[in-house]
Structure 1
């Protein structure tokens, strides 16, 4: 979560593994028994017990991962951390559990700890595109744009990489580092996956304004307003664009909407504080 400012950029996208989890049933092949021979009941029984234990562990792992992800999405960071720690206590080599812990620590402001968790997760599965994307998004948010872009390039080599979020992150991070051509190429690629992606449209509007094309910036911020409810970041950008274009009426209109959005945010914060 970034502090709102006139130069606010869209947030980088990470993928909480628990929210993307597909629960897989484990399957184990049974060895065939030669014709005329009797199966060894003890071996078969042991195999069944092993299978059940494996399936029970997998179900418990999946349950904790999903519940931790749901708690995080609901803003229940302490509960999410407890569940994620139970998960990693069961298996310290689970990259999904470590990644979720990293995301939680980052949300808690414990950036050094988050970085260590991301590194541990990636060391266990160094070619997984989602892990590379997650760590890269965090690095870019911490000012490590160059290192993040290297990780994003590695993520693109994974056929299972989350291409929408990955290309959006490449565009936003390249923009942060002043690589405008690469930023535009990646953001347009992301819009090819989702033409109405609010964060990507906002990033494109910022990029066009930085390049001095206020008319193009207007087109993209208007698409952003059509794609999702207005928030403080897009309204601030809209004011800046319209002031550059000299449209005082449009700028005043967006200033009024900005004040309304701020009051709504303050009201929501007050409701949270009263709970």
Structure 2
């Protein structure tokens, strides 16, 4: 095996190792890093971000001083994937500023505010893939408590408006124009943001969850300044795409039907086949960059 192939294999192994470590951390103990630990390290003159990175690396069992392989993993991945975020950047978002979410429950769906604890880690953007093939997750944290809107299904968080949603929808918001179709309602973040654009004439939302639709219609939609642009259709996304989409003459379609990459790949590929049937329509997909890392 030549040098290039050896490097590619090593990168694949490194990618897998980082994702395994990160998955265990995010799923089981995203809030294990404490302010006290951080404060102890920053007294030496480093930033909160670097202190967070060092603690996380130690928790992953990496020997970043004496072990060359661990040091390489630290420099190539861990240091590049951790970001301290400014809460004000997100609280200044138009949706956060103008839309207030009540705590209310209809059926199995519930609207409420959830929170990230100080120094709790969470996915904050799409995976970055380097030209060498390294896949670098993007993990954020705040140094203060951060409150965000959420929809719960059967007491489990299903849909949120967090930094991750805001960052990963920016391109789809910026690109929207004309008559927009979005598959997936959630808390209406995407619909709100594109309805605020002067070059967007209408926003059609397709969702099949009646409880979520009713929560949105009663408590969220009345707060939209451009609610007159919004139309909601209760239907299965793929059934609507196959049978009715061509009747709407949509200019831009945004698909946000999945919870994360793990349940999104099959639906993404299915919708890409729909896209082939509509060459005059622009299609966009939530977390597409991350999904493409797995294809």
TM-score by length of 1: 0.29
Structure with the higher fraction of residues in strand conformation: 2
TM-score by length of 2: 0.27
Structure showing greater Rg? 1
Structure with the higher fraction of residues in helix conformation: 1
